[in-house]
Amino acid sequence: MLSVEQVCKTFTTEILPETEAGDSKNKKKKVKPVKTKIVAADNITFQVEAGDIFGFLGPNGAGKTTTIRMILDILRPDTGQITWKGKRTMDIPRRSFGYMPEERGLYPKMVVDEQLIFLARLFGHDKAYAQRELDYWLERLGIAQNRKKKLEELSKGNQQKIQFLATVLHDPEILIMDEPFTGLDPLNVNQLKEAFLEMHKRGKTIIFSTHQMETVEELCEDIVLINKGKVLLNGNLRQIKRDTGRTVVRLAIENDPEILWLDSVPGVTVTKRRADFVELYLTTPTSTDDLLRLVVGRGGHVLRFELAEPSLNDIFIEKVAGVSLAQDPSRYAEVAQEYLNSTTVTR
């Protein structure tokens, strides 16, 4: 089990204060930078079970990379400790970890197989072992024909696969991947997911961060969500969804895409009106059976009546932005849009 216990990390940087326009006195003086403290990790605690696929979530600037670097012992926490199977991570061999940083990086002018074998040897494996593993994985990901090419000659997708190999080739116990699926086409995403599951079958612990909540819902049993250095949510994903105490209904009726009469039903909050269905939250006094009866009684051809869990996406935005979809759908939509824009821009 990987255990992160009450970890804190504060950075101090110097920021130039903004001078007020027209303030002539300030212009003459040399503007002194002001020391500012940035809390990157504020009492972060969570556990990852060995052999788990674990989602590490948070908006940009939440402190994910800092936390990951502390797990990898590239940075040391100010207080708190991080252990793997009872040993502090700074005391276990470096080959136990496989790390795929968010900013991809390998030697662009180096030949693929030389580069990967070099890295595996740095982690302490012998050449024969590295060669064997490499042969297997290149075949497995369908890129064997690229082994003698320079990295910069490969397509983006294939470069990403090589990056994945650089993470797993030394057979680490714990894989930590920052945004492993961004920038891949669906075919490559699938191949990479299969490789993920293979590592899972081999008993590896996989921690990955992503902004694609569907992927998290598909792969992860447990998650942690952090924002501004603090843990907002931690635990089993299904349990987290159940804990919201909400019932989500997706409804579609032929020739009535908007189903406007829903707004007048007590206990119903419409959250999304999409072309293919209308999504709503259901609370007392109306039960799902009541709603179904109402729909049938209204007449019309029911295309869809589906009970669903609240999506992780909604939970994420509610938690991070503090806007509830159920209480304020319009504000929620605004924030969601904003969030979506910011993540696509910074990525």
Partner 1 sequence: MKNIILIATREFTIRVRKKSFPITIVILAAMLLVVVYLPTIIGFFAKGSQTKIAVINQTNQSSFGGQELKSFLDYSLNTTLDAKGVPQPAKVGKKPPYDINFVQPSETEALRQKVRDSKLDGLLTISRDSTNELKFDFYTNKTSRDTVVQRISDIMSRLTISDRLSRAGVQSQQAANIFAPAKFSLTDTEKEKNDKKGIGGDNYDAAASYGLTFFMVIALFTSINAFGSIIAQGVAEEKSNRIMEIMITAAKPFELLFGKVIGIGLIGIVSILAVVAVGVPAILLQSTVSEALLGDSSPTSFSLAGASLGLVGMFVVYYLLGYFLYATIYAGVGSLCSRIEDVQQALAPITVLQLVAYFIAIFGLQAIDAPWVVVASFVPFFSPILMIARLGIGTVSPLEIVISLVVTALSIVVCTWLAARLYKVGVLLYGKRPGMWQALGFGSISK
Residues near partner 1, by CB under 8 A: 11-13, 35, 38, 69, 72, 74-75, 94, 97, 99, 101, 103-110, 118-119, 121-124, 166
**In terms of CB distance, is 165 or 240 closer to partner 1?**
165
Taking alpha carbons only, the member of 54, 62, 59, 48 closest to residue 4 is 48
User: What would you report as the CA-atom Rg of the chain, rounded to the nearest whole angstrom?
Assistant: 25
CA distances from 327 to 269, 295, 324, 330, 341 (A): 8, 23, 5, 9, 23
CA 317, 320, 326, 331 dihedral sign is negative
DSSP conformation class of 150: B
The distance of closest approach from Cβ of residue 13 to partner 1 in the complex, given in angstroms and rounded to an integer, is 5
**In terms of CB distance, is 177 or 240 closer to partner 1?**
177
The distance of closest approach from Cβ of residue 148 to partner 1 in the complex, given in angstroms and rounded to an integer, is 14
Residues with Cβ within 8 Å of residue 168, at least 6 apart in sequence: 98, 137, 175, 195, 199
The distance of closest approach from Cβ of residue 133 to partner 1 in the complex, given in angstroms and rounded to an integer, is 15
What's the CA gap between 291 and 249, in Å, rounded? Answer: 10
What's the CA gap between 79 and 45, in Å, rounded? Answer: 12
The distance of closest approach from Cβ of residue 302 to partner 1 in the complex, given in angstroms and rounded to an integer, is 53
**In terms of CB distance, is 74 or 340 closer to partner 1?**
74
The distance of closest approach from Cβ of residue 178 to partner 1 in the complex, given in angstroms and rounded to an integer, is 9
The distance of closest approach from Cβ of residue 215 to partner 1 in the complex, given in angstroms and rounded to an integer, is 22
Q: Are 264 and 258 in contact (CB under 8 A)?
A: no
**In terms of CB distance, is 121 or 147 closer to partner 1?**
121
Q: Are 207 and 200 in contact (CB under 8 A)?
A: no
**In terms of CB distance, is 93 or 322 closer to partner 1?**
93
CA distances from 43 to 39, 56, 72, 74, 75 (A): 10, 16, 18, 19, 16
Q: What are phi and psi of 80, to 5 degrees?
A: 90, 175
Residue type (1 letter), 343: T
**In terms of CB distance, is 106 or 294 closer to partner 1?**
106
Looking at the DSSP assignment, which residues form a beta bridge with residue 88? 83
The distance of closest approach from Cβ of residue 282 to partner 1 in the complex, given in angstroms and rounded to an integer, is 47
CA distances from 61 to 41, 197, 318 (A): 11, 29, 17
**In terms of CB distance, is 84 or 316 closer to partner 1?**
84
CA distances from 29 to 15, 25, 35 (A): 16, 7, 18
**In terms of CB distance, is 118 or 305 closer to partner 1?**
118
The distance of closest approach from Cβ of residue 102 to partner 1 in the complex, given in angstroms and rounded to an integer, is 9
**In terms of CB distance, is 69 or 272 closer to partner 1?**
69
The distance of closest approach from Cβ of residue 122 to partner 1 in the complex, given in angstroms and rounded to an integer, is 4
